[in-house]
Structures are given as structure tokens and as C-alpha cells.
Amino acid sequence: MRVALDAMGGDLAPGPIVAGAREAVLEAHDLTVVLVGDQERIEAEFARLGDSPRDRLPIVHTSQWIGMEEKPVEALRKKRDNSISRCWSLMAAGDVSAVVSAGNTGAMVASALFNAKMFLPGVRRPGIAAFYPSHRGPVVIIDVGANMNAKPEDLYQYGIMGAIYAEEILGATEPKIGLLNVGAEDDKGTELTRNTRDLFLSSPWASRYLGNVEGRDLHDGNARVVVCDGFVGNVLLKSGEGAVEFLFATLKQELARLAADIPREALEKAGAALHRLKARFEYEEFGGAPLLGIKGACIICHGSSGSRAIKNALRVAGTMASDRLSARIAEHLQDAPRATE
Amino acid sequence: MRVALDAMGGDLAPGPIVAGAREAVLEAHDLTVVLVGDQERIEAEFARLGDSPRDRLPIVHTSQWIGMEEKPVEALRKKRDNSISRCWSLMAAGDVSAVVSAGNTGAMVASALFNAKMFLPGVRRPGIAAFYPSHRGPVVIIDVGANMNAKPEDLYQYGIMGAIYAEEILGATEPKIGLLNVGAEDDKGTELTRNTRDLFLSSPWASRYLGNVEGRDLHDGNARVVVCDGFVGNVLLKSGEGAVEFLFATLKQELARLAADIPREALEKAGAALHRLKARFEYEEFGGAPLLGIKGACIICHGSSGSRAIKNALRVAGTMASDRLSARIAEHLQDAPRATE
């Protein structure tokens, strides 16, 4: 399995990116990671890291890269030799089966848009899927930021993509699909939600469609896949991250206040339990969020990703590519309604 | 101060609604609560509750009421003699200064729309404001569900309304206004967010405008007022409630597992600390969420409100009305850009 990695993407690139690639190939002996970016800087990282299986860590040099704050479309047009576009070209040429980047999300998505032949047939806009914690395990939320102007056909397609992703990656059995909305009643919400509902109900997926899911019901996990437009999904995901951080910060203060009353050993156990709990909300083991609806696999990592997140993203990207996830999605999208611009 | 209370609104109405009204007038000697709804059922509750200052608890009888699951517009058209519409008529006639309901939110908002003369001049759609916890105290999020198809002018107006509300009710000094968005950069988001930004930057409120706020930054409290359309705001608010419930449920399990290692006294303190912490996320002391942009005051309570929430909503509604919050908002809206249908 060959995966292209944007070595220049991420807040701390290329340091933890190169380190993550090295860790990944050390763990998986059938994995080759093509590092895309500034050759000199990547080599400098390897020099720092010591012994590496360099035969499975080739470098593809690019003279440019796109910063985290750059405007995606403008940057892609100006910097023709950037690392993100090169990753996609490698996949389009069949040289790699997956791409991974912790760089500019907008540029990753726009670059896939520019390489429209990388879309699965009938897909107008790919969607980013992410996990949200629930009492029954992670729920797949799609889209969380690729598509700010979703159409009903897009959300319908996201439902299919998300369900197959949940089956392949989470091992879910016939996961139910919910529509994020502001109330339980059918007529709630916007034109987008009402039309999406109609599409699901008149489709072969009607039996998998659970109806509206409200923000407060996400955690019950009845819907293992929840579809929404990229704006709402992004707010949902980031505010969830923020809420967890806020709660744990406040909890730590409370725990510190109680420290005198609790034996040291119990306090340490409580601290460990808190850490375990927090880990349930951080899906670093998945390394990032996949862009679904494309030929091949693509994982977009958090800008602040460390080497562990990168390593895991490379592993998951490899799994996604070898599982022929895209082929299954493509098959099920064949008869799906298609949106036009 | 006279406040109209929808005695028939809420999952458990009229029981806790009538009880909350009684508690409110017992606490505030200058308060009269006009109970609107089925006279017989309200009287039955009073009989159960014992001695009440009935001179400050008059009943206005209606033969109909709107259920929590009814379609708002349809219900308002069919049930002409419903308790929600009657509350608004009382305010329109100047008989009361505020209205409170734990009933069908959609019907409350639609009824205000039908009584368009209850809107402040220039307001196309009132907005519902709610609190979100932050490290610097509650943040005002507006709109959280009144307006599913917001225009830039609406969001701009919500910024003004929310800021004045934060000043009057939270005692905030020149609170900053943020725009909920998917990234920090100016061009992020949708046409709605970009046009809203332009309105703020070219307005007298430009110095109060903080720019984009992402979901994960809400808890830092730099923006004390955050504007968004009602769909996003509703998802944000409800998913926040859900996240807190989920976390505390999981924490309780972890605490139970540790119980054997921790002295009973410390365990009780930890339990109490958790309760205090949870209370920071439940704004029952405010009783509900105000509908802003109308003449007079209006509080919409959670459907599951108990007597304490109703009592507090009546108190806050009275404060809002006596503070002439609406007058201040009206004054500042005078020169605000106005949206048309």
C-alpha cells in the first residue's frame, strides 16, 4: 500500500509529519509513505530522527506549499507546484491509493474539486466525515466542513457514504441514518432538511432512514450516521470539542479543590479515569477525518496533529484504501439522485 | 408589573405552571401573574396548592390550547381561542408588560409574527437568545431557533439586541459581538456570514464587532454575544446540553467505579462539586430564553420546565419589562439596515 503524505501541512510541519510517517512504516511493513514537499527540509528531519527504512519513505519534491491561513482557491491557482496538489496528482496517476494532510483543509477540498476526475460518478461535492461520541460508540457526522452550500442530493449521498464508512471502519451493522434538525416533527427545519427527508423516504435507503435527530439526541447513538451541511457540522464538531475542553478544565479545578480530602492513591486513580474519559472524546486513534465521495482514500488531519495522529491517519488511510470503501460507495451511489450546480 | 403566563404550555401543564406563578407572586409583592388557559383546570391546581394571593393571580379563560407537537401555523389558524395567542393579545392591548410560556415554541414565535404590530420597528424576525457557558460567564447566543432563514440584516440586528440584553441582564460592559463561523479568516463561511460581516464593519457598531468565532472558541468568552441563524444556534444549544448530560452520565459511572477507594466524606464532597458544576450549565435561574425584537418582554421556557423555572422566568420577564430593554433595543435599531421579504 502506497500513501502520499503532505509533509508541509500542519501547524508544526514538517517535524511531526515526517516523524509520523517514519513511525507508520516501522509499524506496518507493507506500507510505503510518499513524503511530498521540500526535499531539503524533509531530509533534515530524517537526519534528526536517526535510522529509518528509507526505501519505504520516498520523497517527491515540491518547491511550494500552502499555509494554514491562505485562501485555498487563490493559493492553489498561484502556487502551481504546491504539496497538496501534488498529493492529488499522485493519486490521480495511480501512484498512491490514499492521500493524507494536516494542512489547509480548504485547499485539500478545493484541490480535490479541481481534480474533478477524482470524484466518484454523480458526486457534486465530497463530504468530510467525523466522529462524535455516543453511548453506543462513535457516531459518524457528515459533512463537517467541506460543503458550505449543501443541496438535498448532497446530504442524501452523505448518508450513503457515511453508512458504508460506519460499516467498514466502525464495524457497524446496518447503521441508521439521521438528519440533523431542530425538532422531531417532519416539517421542522429548512427547505434543505425537508427536501432531504423526501429524498430518503422515496429511496432504497428508506428503511435505514431514522428521521430527524436533534442536537441533544446525538449522544444516544440511535442514528450511527448523521447528515448535515458543512457549516452546521463544523460548528457542531468544534463546539463539542470546546465543551469537552471547558468541562475538563473546570473539573480539574474542582478536583484540585478536593485534593486534601482524598487519599493520594484515589486521587491518582481519579486522574487516570478522567484521562481515559477524555480519550473517548479525542479520536486521535483515527488520526483525522476522511473526505468521502472520491476515488481512493483521503484523510484530513487536525492542523495541530502530532506524530501519533499522523501515524494513525496513515494506517486508517491504508485500511480505507485496501477495504475498497470507495468502490462500495460508488456502487451504492449509482442510482442516487444527483444535484447540479 | 403584570405578566401573562400561558398556563397550558409545557409538558406537565398546568400543574407546575400554576405552582410557579404562585411562587413568583409570593416572592415578588409588586408582581401580578395573569394565568391564561382553561379556568377549571387552573382552579383545580389552586385548590391543590392551598392558600394563594389570588388577587395577584387572575385567570383569563381560553377554551383552547396548542399542544407541544402541533404544527404552529396550522394550530394558530384553527384554534382561534388558544392560550398563546391570548397572551400576545393581552400584551398588545397593554394589559400586561410581558408574556411567558413553556409551550410550543414555534407557536409562540408565529403568534408574535401574526401580531406584527408587536415587532419593534424595522424588525423582520425576532430572535431567541440563550446562554452558553464560558470561562468569563454566560455568553449570549442569538438566534437559537426563531428564524430558520436569516438574512444578514437579521443577524446584524441580533447583534444589537444581544449586546443590549447582555448589558441589561448580565451586567456586561460593552460586550463584544462575534459571528459564529467555520474559521477565523474573513472569507470563511457562507454568503450569509460574509454579508453579515460587511454590515457590522460599515456600521456604528464596528468597534464592538469581534469578527468570526469558531465553535471551539465559544467557551473563552471573548465574544459575550454570538450571532447565528436559528438552525445553527438551535443545534449548537441542544448539542451543548446533550454533551453536558453525556459527560456527567459518564463521569458518574467513573466515580461509582472509584467509590471503594475514596472515603465517604470525600465522595460526598465530590458529588456536591459535580452538582455545582452541572448547575453552571443549566440556566434554570434565568427560567428560559427571551424572544428579542418585540415590544414588551417575552420568555420562552423549556417544555419540561418545573415550577422553579417558571417562577424564575416570571421574575426575569418582569425585570426585562421594567428595565425598558425593548426601548433601548428599539432606539439602537433605528438606523440599523432592514431586510425585506
Average pLDDT in chain B: 91
Whether residue A62 is predicted with pLDDT greater than 90 in this model: the reply is yes
d(CA A93, CA A291): 19
* A279 in contact with B, Cβ within 8 Å: no
Interval A212-221: pLDDT, tens: 999 989 999 9
Arithmetic mean of pLDDT, B245-269? 77
pTM of the shown model: 0.91
Q: Which of B218, B241, B273 sits opposite A216 (nearest CB)?
A: B241
Whether residue A250 is predicted with pLDDT greater than 60 in this model: the reply is yes
pLDDT for A281: 64
Cα separations (Å) of B197 from A74, B185, B341? 21, 11, 20
d(CA A166, CA A139): 8
- Asked if omega into A14 is within 30° of 0 (cis), the reply is yes
Residue A285 in contact with residue A312, Cβ under 8 Å?
A: yes
Higher-confidence position of B206 and B137? B206
* A182 in contact with B, Cβ within 8 Å: yes
Residue B34 in contact with residue B90, Cβ under 8 Å?
A: yes
d(CA B10, CA B23): 17
Of the pLDDT bands very low, low, confident and very high (cuts 50, 70, 90), residue A288 is confident
Percent of chain B whose predicted confidence (pLDDT) is above 90: 70
Higher-confidence position of A256 and A19? A19
This complex has an ipTM of 0.90
pLDDT for B281: 65
The answer for B 3-62 residues in CB contact with A (under 8 A) is none
Amino acid in the structure at residue B66: I
Interval A16-31: pLDDT, tens: 999 999 999 999 999 9
Interval B146-202: pLDDT, tens: 999 999 999 999 999 999 999 988 899 999 999 999 988 888 899 999 999 999 999
pLDDT for A249: 83
Arithmetic mean of pLDDT, B285-306? 88
User: B264-279 and B230-258 are packed helices; what angle lies between their axes, rounded to 10 degrees?
Assistant: 180
Alpha carbon A254 to its chain centroid, in Å, reads 34
Query: Residues with Cβ < 8 Å from B299, sequence gap 6 or more?
Result: B98, B99, B100, B101, B287, B288, B289, B290, B291, B313, B316, B317, B320
A305: cell is 496533529
Whether residue A259 is predicted with pLDDT greater than 90 in this model: the reply is no
A83-97, A107-121, A125-139, A277-291 — which is least confidently predicted? A277-291
Q: Which of A133, A149, A232 sits opposite B232 (nearest CB)?
A: A232
Domains of chain A: 1-123+293-341 (3.40.718.10), 126-285 (3.40.718.10)
Whether residue B286 is predicted with pLDDT greater than 90 in this model: the reply is no
* B185 in contact with A, Cβ within 8 Å: yes
Of the pLDDT bands very low, low, confident and very high (cuts 50, 70, 90), residue B221 is very high
* A228 in contact with B, Cβ within 8 Å: yes
Q: Which of A189, A228, A234 sits opposite B215 (nearest CB)?
A: A234
Residue B335 in contact with residue B204, Cβ under 8 Å?
A: yes
